[in-house]
Amino acid sequence: MNSVAKPHVFVSYVREDRRAVEKLCEELKRNEVAVWLDREKIRPGERWQIAIRRAIEEGALFIACFSTAYADRHSSYMNVELTIAVEQLRSRPSDRAWFIPVLLEGGVVPDRPIGGGETLRDIQWVDLTDGWDEGVGRILSVLLPEPPQPRRQPSAPAPATLVILMTDLINSTAALQRLSDREFRDVILRMNEELPAAVKGHGGQVVTVLGDGLLAVFESAPKAVVCALALQSHMSKGSNLGTLEMRIGLAAGPVLRTHDSVGGTAVNMAARICSLAEGGEVLISDSVRALLDLTEGVQVMERGPVALKGIMDRVRVYAVRPAAAL
């Protein structure tokens, strides 16, 4: 991709489709496409409609995600975004793709007029339910019409041994049903400010924030574990969301890093271990356990060897708590 101009993509969706949209956005970002999502870009105190209109007008592409959830809604913020986007579409050259309808589970493009006797159904859409990779490739073909030019292959960076920390919210679906759109957005915005600040305060670096979870890296296993326990303490004291809880998984190992991502078996292992944790629990791999000094104020309890998807050998997993809690 030409590094001089980075395409800016506005993605419009309803909150029920958040996970599918996050997956799409990660695919775009991996291909160096800048993505604009309201919950990430609108700052506290900013006028929502003004920020949305400016982002849509300045965008190189508008992606509208249609699904059963959208069709079932009588009203949504997405309809406001569609109205602004249709206004823009009418003023743009008709021979250049700018508005791309995307179909998620059960989605149908609405028969919404766009002028000249045409509707949104006259625009070629992408059906992600009929082949995800192919659909994402079709979207990228609009943004990246020319294949990347061959470049000299730099020497591969040496993997660094790091501790990966991953978090995930439990019962967020129940919270979605209990809270209004604005209340849930405010909760996620607050978490996406407070939790990364806590990670930084414990010597870690946040690599990715994915809606209701984050991925961070640490050079020190003790600091990573202490940070995980602090995050759980913060959630239990300040979430005010009833059943909303967080689970955390940690793993250590060689990790390949770029400027905005990390990769390697340790990353996959941390994600799998996180999925095993209960609400309010911190689980670590044996690779993290081996780097801990048990005089550091934590208690470790073995949960036994477990099989993790994508990991060949069974991994010993441990639950970690503050020493005073046991």
The model's confidence at residue 313, banded by pLDDT at 50, 70 and 90, is confident
Q: Which position has the higher pLDDT, 144 or 100? A: 100
The model's confidence at residue 260, banded by pLDDT at 50, 70 and 90, is confident
- Architecture per CATH, domain 8-143, reads as 3-Layer(aba) Sandwich (3.40)
pLDDT tens-digit map of 218-227: 999 999 999 9
For 280, left (φ over 0), alpha (ψ -120 to 50), or beta? left
pLDDT at position 148 over 60: no
The residue-averaged pLDDT of 223-240 equals 83
Domain ranges of the chain: 8-143, 160-325
pLDDT tens-digit map of 177-189: 667 767 777 777 7
pLDDT tens-digit map of 43-102: 776 787 888 888 898 888 999 999 999 999 888 889 999 999 999 998 888 878 899 999
The answer to pTM > 0.75 is no
Output the pLDDT for position 172. 67
Output the pLDDT for position 292. 87
Q: What is the CATH number of domain 160-325?
A: 3.30.70.1230
Output the pLDDT for position 4. 40
Tokens of 77: 């913020």
